Amino acid sequence: MANTTAPSRDLRALPAAPGPLGLLDSTIGQKIVMATTGAILVGFVLFHFIGNALIFAGPEAINDYSHLLHHSHGLIWVARAVLLLAVVLHIATALRLTAKNASARPQPYKVKRDIATNYAARTMVWSGPILLGFLLYHLAHLTFGVTPGPYQHSPEDVYSNLVNGFSIPWVSGLYIVSMLSLGYHLFHGVWSMFQSLGINHSAYNPRIKHAAIGLALFITLGNISIPLSVLLGLVH
Amino acid sequence: MMRLKLHVWRQKSGGTQGSFADYDMTDVSADMSFLEMLDVLNEKLTADGSDPIAFDHDCREGICGACGMVVNGEPHGPRKATTTCQLHMRSFKDGDELWIEPWRAEAFPVIKDLVVDRSAFDRVIQAGGYISVRSGSAPEANSTLVPKLDADAAFDAAQCIGCGACVAACPNASAMLFVSAKVSHLGHLPQGQPERYARVRKMVAQMDAEGFGGCTNHKECEAACPKEISISHIARLNRDLLKAQLTAAEEKKVSESA
Ligand code: HEM
Ligand code: FES
């Protein structure tokens, strides 16, 4: 029998530099970055939805809330800076990890059966970019009011902006499809976040799993209910 | 007796291209193990003057971790918690078509046919998967007490036979389940404490350098593991690495001044 030896790679890898920055040098550290920035973004989408839901309390409630945010003595800029940093780190780290993972199996299987994973977990690298695209459109639409089409934007009247914007069926459709992507991203992401941070204990695992699914459903269905209510004429 | 159609990955050596070869098996007994089925095929191939199919095996009782191949897309075949050598042909039906492939990972290059080079695992162990003790006479058995729950957890992790099915199953060819089992095994015991945080940093660095992918929490490794090692060990590895990274600076200063 041919006694072939595989390419020798007797590397002696040095551990990452000590300290928090060294986290960027290992796959586990990078997952901890994904999870931490992901947690910041989850916190954001949760509070953002709660703010959005004020539309059901009428024009005054949501417009007052918007006014409060915009006259917060610069606090909104602190929040925006943190969110921007989180988004940039989250995406940059996702790209690095995805590249490493892709090169870890250059030759694919002819036949591969998935047993434990699910659709949401397999499509994180797709639901993520869809969210980025949506994020850019969403900012252009409801923050800057610069999207093309019949939509009328007035910076002081968020309520009317939402009603005007979502009265256009394709705009509502875009929001609904994007929120489904968010749902998938969160379905895997929220549970994954706990595991990546090492929060796994047999006594709490079922509760963590249920809380993750509940949060994903709550944020997704909650956000979808807004364009849907406008389309159905429940909010006008 | 069963008839089977096999498609087996044949590759002369690491540097050459491989492809699937088809074999019709006509007289497979349900009582054969999977490897015995391949032995029968190999006898035939040898008698015909062709090269037998190379595959790794040693104990054939599910404890050494030498065997392993991907059968119809599942590492070690369709039976839960079972190594290829312990898999029996009664797990298949007459007329089945089987695709048999080696572990596929950048870090596990094919040596020949179904045999891959798993020395990447050895280097991960060399990097930190040990404890430093005085050799010589054995210490008195009960001089170091181990709480029952820790002993159980260490034993669960120590069941890992290093077969590599976790890497084979992972969509990212990640070695996290293997590394976490080794880190948990030592880290749960008092003897593993002195090197606990240095160990995790060294082993993770070696794991990454070998070309394994990262974990995206698919849980395929846990499902494929013949020893049913839990991904709770991966969470513990993540915890230990985080703590090790954040506390490593101090360790360094102490050793410098010493
Ligand atoms: C903007 C573009 C985005 C991209 C390209 C992206 C990509 C990814 C990728 C590749 C992962 C790792 C998948 C895995 O571990 O299986 C991930 C995880 C995650 N993402 Fe995103 N994502 C994006 C936006 C978001 C947003 C807006 C949120 C929050 C609502 C979010 C929350 C999370 C969470 C919580 C995780 C789990 C972290 C972990 O596994 O530890 N992501 N993302
Ligand atoms: S040959 Fe030893 S575990 Fe299969």
The domains found in chain A, sorted by start residue, are: 27-109+117-231 (1.20.1300.10)
- Per-residue confidence band for A149, with pLDDT thresholds at 50, 70 and 90: confident
> Residue ranges of the domains in chain B?
2-111, 118-131+145-257
Mind telling me how many Å the CA of A208 is from chain B's nearest CA?
13
> Is the Cβ pair B242, A110 closer than 8 Å?
no
Q: What is the pLDDT of residues A152-206, one digit of tens each?
A: 898 889 999 999 999 999 999 999 999 999 999 999 999 999 999 999 999 999 9
- Per-residue confidence band for A10, with pLDDT thresholds at 50, 70 and 90: low
Domain topology for B2-111: Ubiquitin-like (UB roll) (3.10.20)
Statement: residue A3 has pLDDT above 50: no
Q: What is the pLDDT of residues B69-101, one digit of tens each?
A: 999 999 999 999 999 999 999 999 999 999 999
Statement: residue A6 has pLDDT above 50: no
Statement: residue A137 has pLDDT above 60: yes
Rounded Cα–Cα distance for residues B172 and B208 (Å): 12
**Of residues A4, A192, A202, nearest to B232 (C-beta):** A202
**pLDDT score for A139:** 96
Do the beta carbons of residue A98 and residue A105 sit within 8 Å? no
Give the ligand whose atoms come closest to the C-alpha of residue B33.
2
Query: Is A18 in CB contact (< 8 Å) with chain B?
Result: yes
Query: Is A126 in CB contact (< 8 Å) with chain B?
Result: no
Which two three-digit tokens encode residue B182? Answer: 């080794």
Encoded amino acid at A116, one letter: A
**pLDDT score for B252:** 52
* Chain B residues with beta carbon closer than 8 angstroms to that of A116: 218-220, 222-223
Encoded amino acid at A29, one letter: G
Do the beta carbons of residue B119 and residue A6 sit within 8 Å? yes
Phi first, then psi, for residue A135 (nearest 5°) are -55, -45
Q: Does domain B118-131+145-257 have CATH number 1.10.3720.10?
A: no
**pLDDT score for B258:** 42
Kind of pairing between the strands at B97-101 and B2-10: parallel
**pLDDT score for B143:** 87
**pLDDT score for B136:** 86
Closest CA to B236 of B189, B194, B177: B177
B59 CA from centroid of ligand 2 (Å):
5
Among chain B residues, CA nearest to A29: B242
Do the beta carbons of residue B166 and residue B225 sit within 8 Å? yes
**pLDDT score for B170:** 98
Statement: residue A9 has pLDDT above 70: no
A30 CA from centroid of ligand 1 (Å):
12
**Average pLDDT of the residues of chain A:** 93
**pLDDT score for B137:** 86
Among chain B residues, CA nearest to A108: B104
- Per-residue confidence band for A2, with pLDDT thresholds at 50, 70 and 90: very low
Cβ neighbours around B144 below 10 Å, total: 10
Closest CA to A52 of A231, A219, A232, A233: A219
Which two three-digit tokens encode residue A107? Answer: 């030759």
**Of residues B7, B111, B205, nearest to A14 (C-beta):** B205
Q: What is the mean pLDDT of residues A81-88?
A: 98
Q: How many CB pairs under 8 A join A and B?
A: 197
- Choose one of A90, A123, A127, A188 to mutate for the ligand 1 pocket test, by most ligand atoms within 8 angstroms of C-beta: A90
Q: What pTM, to 2 d.p., does this model score?
A: 0.92
- Choose one of B60, B69, B87, B225 to mutate for the ligand 2 pocket test, by most ligand atoms within 8 angstroms of C-beta: B60
The HSE-up count of residue B53 (CA atoms within 13 Å, CB side) is 27
- Per-residue confidence band for A1, with pLDDT thresholds at 50, 70 and 90: very low
- Whether the domain at B2-111 and the domain at B118-131+145-257 fall into the same CATH topology: no
- Per-residue confidence band for A128, with pLDDT thresholds at 50, 70 and 90: very high
Give the ligand whose atoms come closest to the C-alpha of residue B160.
2
Rounded Cα–Cα distance for residues A209 and B74 (Å): 26
**Per-residue pLDDT tens listing for chain B (258 residues):** 899 999 999 999 999 999 999 999 999 999 999 999 999 999 999 999 999 999 999 999 999 999 999 999 999 999 999 999 999 999 999 999 999 999 999 999 999 999 999 999 999 999 999 999 888 888 888 888 999 999 999 999 999 999 999 999 999 999 999 999 999 999 999 999 999 999 999 999 999 999 999 999 999 999 999 999 999 999 999 999 999 999 986 555 555 544
Give the helix/strand (H/E) hosting A122: helix A119-122
